[in-house]
Amino acid sequence: MNPLGFIVRSLFCYLVVFITWNPTGVSYLGWLRATWLDHPWSARGHLPVLAITGTALFAINLFLLRTAWLSLRVRGMLGVAVVLLFGGLAADEAGWVSLWREEQLSYLPPFLIGGILTVGLVRSIVRRRVIGQSDVLNPPP
Amino acid sequence: MLGYPKLADILARMLAVAFLVGITYNPVGHCYWRWVTDGGTGQPMLKIFIGLLLGVGFLFCIAALIRSLNLAGTIPLLLIIGSLVWLLSHWQFIDLADPMQLTLVIEGVIILVLGSGVCFSIVRYHLTGQLDSQSLN
């Protein structure tokens, strides 16, 4: 995997996370809330589109989460979250972001989740490339 | 699948491990340890973040070492390196009574051990055709 592959995978993970939910409200969950929860009867025409988009997003999120869990397990995912959290705090200390403002703090959870998914997605590739050790999935019994 | 391990690939991995160890602590120049202990109380979050990144690097190398060499491989490796250090000291190429030289020798041993752990799976695959794998489920 070259650096471009890492960037593409990282962008893909963050895109999936932000399309699912982000603080601006322009996301699938924001769309779901605005059409179905706030206007249930008038949203009937949008139901098939909501359903297919939701199931596709659910499947992609499930794939990424399962990949991250298989690769990192809970301990690894927490470790990545801690490292990224302190990275965010270091950026705040340097003045690049201001995490103590609510509008910027609300971006922290999707940033952490996207980072965990990215590391989970690339870890096996990096491990195989750098140290030659492969991760194998056994078929279910 | 892994290709022929070129000497440059092995050297690059050893240099990366040497960089990791050297930037964490070295007695001759700038290092993370000196920055944290002598640099005052400024930038605490950045120091913690850099420390975590270095910790992840060491964990990666130690996990690779455990996976590829395990205790049965690490002990003979340590014996070989220890004998080499003893030989060099006996030939007076190094002076273990000098604290600076002793620190550099210890760092060299750590670099050789961790670097061997990082490289061994690739070398073993080339020599024996056996792929080091880990089951995820």
Instruction: Give the distance from residue B51's alpha carbon to the nearest chain A alpha carbon, in angstroms.
Output: 9
Average pLDDT in the A83-87 region? 94
CA-to-CA distance for A102 and A122, rounded, in angstroms? Answer: 31
Contact yes or no for B13/B21 (Cβ under 8 A): no
Identify any residues that bridge with B133 across adjacent strands, giving them in sequence order. Answer: A134
The pTM of this model reads 0.81
How many helices (H) and strands (E) would you count in chain B? 5, 1
pLDDT of residue A135: 85
Q: What is the token pair recorded at B102?
A: 């002793």
Res A42 pLDDT > 90? no
Q: Which site among A133, A134, A137, A138 would you substitute to test the B interface, given the most B Cβ atoms closer than 10 Å to its Cβ?
A: A133
- The DSSP line for chain A is --HHHHHHHHHHHHHHHHHH--TTS-SHHHHHIIIIITSTTGGGGGHHHHHHHHHHHHHHHHHHHHHHHHHHHHHHHHHHHHHHHHHHHHHHHTTS--TTSHHHHTTHHHHHHHHHHHHHHHHHHHHHHHH-EEEEPPPP-
Q: Pick the more confident residue, A105 or B14.
A: B14
pLDDT band at B5 (very low <50, low <70, confident <90, very high): low
Query: Does B43 reach chain A within 8 Å, measured CB to CB?
Result: yes
pLDDT reading at B4 higher than 80: no
Alpha-helical segments (H) within B69-98: 70-90
Residue B1: which pLDDT band, with cuts at 50, 70 and 90? very low
Residue-level pLDDT at B135: 81
Confidence tier at B109 by pLDDT (50, 70, 90):
very high
> Average pLDDT in the A62-88 region?
93
Residue A37's contacts (CB-CB under 8 Å, 6 or more residues apart) are none
Length of chain B, in residues: 137
Instruction: Return the number of other C-beta atoms located less than 10 Å from residue A55's C-beta.
Output: 10
Average pLDDT rounded to a whole number, residues A42-47: 68
Q: Which residue has the higher pLDDT, A86 or B127?
A: A86
In this structure, what are the phi and psi dihedrals at residue B132, rounded to the nearest 5 degrees? -80, 115
Nearest CA in chain B to A92: B45
Higher per-residue confidence, B128 vs A28 = A28
Asked if residue A139 has pLDDT above 80, the reply is: no
Does the distance separating the beta carbons of B45 and A70 come in below 8 Å? no
d(CA A13, CA A19): 10
ipTM above 0.85, yes or no: no
* Confidence (pLDDT) at A65: 92
What's the whole-number mean pLDDT along residues A6-26? Answer: 93
Report the 10 Å Cβ neighbour count for A49.
11
Q: What is the pLDDT of residues B61-107, one digit of tens each?
A: 999 999 888 888 899 899 999 999 999 999 999 999 999 999 999 99
pLDDT more than 90, % of chain A: 48
Contact flag A137-B137 (C-beta cutoff 8 Å): yes
User: What average pLDDT does range A81-102 have in this prediction?
Assistant: 90
Model confidence at A41, pLDDT cuts 50, 70, 90, reads low
Q: Distance from CA of residue A137 to its chain's centroid?
A: 22
| A45 vs A59: which has the higher pLDDT | A59
Are the beta carbons of A20 and A28 closer than 8 angstroms? Answer: yes
